Structure formats: C-alpha cells, structure tokens
C-alpha cells in the first residue's frame, strides 16, 4: 500500500538518504572490503531513524495480536463495565425523576407523544404555615371547576373529565398524548371521573409532590443508604429490610417481632391485589405521607387541602352533627376519617376494615393496651376545627387513585 508524502517530507527524505550514503562511503575507507552490500547497509542505516518507533509499533501490534488471540476476553472484560455504566445512568435518571416528583417519564411509555409534559415545582414552607387557619363551617366554598382543558386550554363541554381534588379538567386524548396515563389508567378515568368516587389528576394523585425540596432530600438519602432503587417494585423481605434500617437509624435498635408483623400488615395494605409485591408509586406515597406526618404540623396540613376537600369535610361533619351544636363525638370523628377511603375500595368492603388490612397496630386498636382508654374517650366532644386538623392527613391519604391503603385507619 502506497504512502502519500508532502514535498517537504520528500526533501527531508532525500537529504537524510544523502547523509547516510556519505557517512557510509566515508566508513568504507576505514573498513575492509568484507562489509555488507551497499543496498543492505543503506537499508539498515536508513532504518535506524525508525528503530525508536519500532518498539512502540511492536507493542501496539502485540497488543492487537493478543486481543485477537484471546478472542472474546477483552469484550467480556469490558462488557460488565458497560453494563455498570448503563445501570448507573438509568439509576441516576431515576433519582432525578424522583427528586422532581415526575415518576415515570413520558418517553418511557410504550407510545409516541405530541405534547410536552408540565414541569412540577415543589412547594416551599411559609413562615405562617404552622399557624391556625380559619375555615368556616357554615360557609361552603363550592369552587367552580375550570372550563378549559388544563393541557390544551380548549373548551369542549361534556368531553372534559374533572379531577375530584382540584378544579382542573382534562381531555382524555390530551392525557393520552401527554403520556402520564397508560391505557388502563385512562379507561379507569373515563369510568370514574363523573361518578361519586371521582378521579385524581396526575397533580393530585402524586402525594410526593407535596414534599418540599428539603423533605424530599431527606427521603432520598434514606432510600440511597438502604439501597432502595427508584421505580422498582418491593417484595415483603425488602420492605422488612428497609424498616429495620430506618428503625436502626432513628432509634438505634432493630424491630421487634411484633413490629415485624406490623410491617407485614403494612405490606398487605399496600398490596390489595395480592401480587406479592408493592408498586413503587404506592411505596413512595406511603413514605411521603410518613414524611408529612413527621415534619408538618396539623395546621400546616390543613393549608394543603383544596377547597373541594374542605367542602367534603364540611358535609361529613354536618351530617354527623345531628343536634347542630358544632360538636361530634370522638367515635364519630373516627367513622368520618374511615369514610374517605370507602369509595376508593374496589372490593366494596365496609368502613370497618380489620387491622390486618390497614397496617400497623395503633394505640386505639383492640389488641393494644390503650383500648380501654380509647373506649372511654369515644364520647369526648370534637369541634369542627379539631376535626379538620385531625382529619387532614387522612384526606390527603385518600387522594391517590390506587386502591392501596397508604395510612392505617383509626379504629
């Protein structure tokens, strides 16, 4: 194969050859005539400038030859690194989605989309968040729902599907093109949006969006330390391991046998269809609620409720306050808190859900030592303001469309 050289390289080549020939001829005068032929000597002398590059060329050739002789060895050694790199990239993208509260990216759906998904902005705590908020009992808010689709901003009357939590409305086609709802979720929306049960939009359905940046960072650090992989399903052993880690981290002790049974009861509540695993969204919402209970006051949670949720709470309270004195009993308060989950239960179970279905044993459960005290307090009066504060966390827990129980019910 020929090699192309520039004029400068050709001149340098001629000059070098001339110098070598001159040196060779001068050396012949001092040597006997038994030396190598001129051509060979010229080749050897001319090859001397290349000898410095020869070891490098040889090493490169040897490396290439060794790689060829070893066959699949180099590709096998590189394959795990490529796989690890891909896994790290996937996990990094999942952590990014978790931080942003997006869940599954629309691009990951098995369909093409024309519309750009919205950007979620996490809330910030205000200085007066923990102060009591005045919510009138007799004055209903009844907020009108939006007239135009939240996605395309077009009004089409009966073709719009409302959210039962906020005032937004949507076209089913827009939600399909947006990519946030799969086919089965879209069909569920069409079946329930105009019923008493209702349907939560992708804003309200995601309880994780209620967490601030600081709260989300704390939750993500716990996930990372326990090696929880975002967007993956969890089996019972993984949930137990996670709970053991959290207990060790917060209380510096392992779970007791009784607490392990409570964790398994939680698992059953998050796996209503008995699949043997809990979906990532249900696990994330459960942990998000735990963060809200840990870092937020009841007054702060009341501020998160929408006008629709406050109106529903009014209707429930007024329905229990038969003598219209603005008070109900503690037992009636617990009954109302259970009622928020009644319509979401696909199995049409009664409100008197057993403890094995709703999660860990609480102090008011029949199996606990405080059950006598709870029975004695069943007739304790509860005002409208107290009812709303105590019920706020249960109202928020009823937002997701999932039939999983994200919080244990008061008994």
Structural contact between residues 89 and 225, judged by C-beta atoms closer than 8 angstroms: no
Distance CA 169, CA 153 (A): 10
Q: What is the pLDDT along the chain (411 residues), one digit of tens a residue?
A: 444 444 555 556 556 556 655 655 655 555 555 444 444 444 444 444 444 444 444 454 555 555 445 444 444 444 545 555 555 665 666 666 665 554 444 444 444 555 666 778 889 998 999 999 999 998 888 888 898 999 888 877 668 999 999 999 999 888 888 877 788 888 999 999 999 889 999 899 999 999 999 999 999 999 988 888 888 899 999 999 999 988 888 888 888 999 999 999 999 999 999 999 999 999 999 999 999 999 999 999 999 999 999 999 999 999 999 888 999 999 999 888 888 776 555 443 333 333 223 333 233 333 333 445 455 568 889 999 999 999 999 999 999 999 898 888 776
Angle (CA) 89-202-97 rounded to 5° is 15
**Domains of the chain and any CATH numbers:** 140-205 (3.30.40.10), 207-295 (1.10.238), 300-344+379-410 (no CATH)
Structural contact between residues 212 and 126, judged by C-beta atoms closer than 8 angstroms: no
Structural contact between residues 165 and 399, judged by C-beta atoms closer than 8 angstroms: yes
The sign of the CA dihedral 60, 64, 69, 71 is: positive
Distance CA 100, CA 89 (A): 17
CB atoms within 10 A of CB 29: 6
């Amino acid at each position: 194969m020929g090699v192309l050289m520039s004029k400068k390289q050709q001149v340098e080549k001629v000059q070098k050859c001339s110098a070598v020939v001159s040196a060779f001829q001068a050396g012949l005068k001092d040597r006997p005539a038994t030396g190598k032929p001129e051509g060979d000597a010229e080749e050897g002398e001319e090859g001397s400038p290349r000898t410095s590059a020869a070891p490098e060329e040889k090493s490169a050739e040897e490396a290439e030859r060794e790689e060829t002789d070893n066959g699949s060895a180099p590709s096998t050694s590189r394959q795990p690194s490529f796989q690890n790199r891909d896994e790290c990239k996937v996990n990094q993208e999942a952590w990014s989605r978790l931080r942003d509260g997006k869940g599954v990216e629309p691009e990951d759906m098995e369909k093409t989309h024309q519309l750009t998904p919205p950007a979620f902005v996490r809330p910030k705590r205000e200085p007066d968040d923990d102060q009591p908020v005045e919510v009138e009992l007799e004055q209903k808010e009844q907020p009108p729902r939006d007239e135009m689709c939240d996605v395309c901003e077009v009004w089409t009357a009966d073709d719009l599907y409302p959210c039962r939590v906020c005032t937004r409305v949507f076209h089913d086609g827009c939600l399909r093109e947006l990519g946030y709802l799969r086919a089965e979720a879209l069909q569920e929306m069409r079946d329930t949006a105009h019923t008493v049960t209702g349907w939560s939009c992708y804003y309200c359905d995601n309880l994780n969006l209620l967490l601030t940046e600081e709260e989300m960072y704390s939750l993500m650090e716990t996930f990372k330390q326990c090696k929880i992989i975002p967007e993956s399903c969890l089996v019972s052993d993984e949930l137990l391991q996670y709970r053991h880690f959290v207990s060790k981290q917060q209380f510096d002790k392992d779970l007791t046998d009784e607490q392990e049974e409570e964790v398994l009861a939680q698992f059953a509540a998050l796996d209503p269809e008995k699949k043997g695993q809990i979906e990532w969204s249900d696990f994330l919402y459960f942990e998000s609620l735990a963060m809200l209970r840990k870092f937020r006051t009841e007054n702060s949670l009341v501020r998160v409720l929408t006008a629709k949720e406050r109106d529903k709470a009014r209707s429930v309270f007024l329905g229990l306050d038969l003598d219209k004195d603005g008070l109900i009993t503690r037992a009636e308060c617990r009954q109302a808190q259970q009622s928020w989950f009644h319509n979401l239960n696909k199995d049409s179970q009664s409100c008197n859900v057993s403890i094995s279905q709703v999660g860990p044993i609480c102090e008011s459960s029949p199996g606990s030592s405080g059950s006598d005290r709870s029975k004695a307090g069943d007739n304790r009066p509860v005002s409208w303001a107290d009812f709303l504060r105590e019920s706020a966390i249960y109202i928020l827990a009823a937002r997701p469309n999932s039939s999983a129980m994200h919080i244990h019910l008061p008994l």
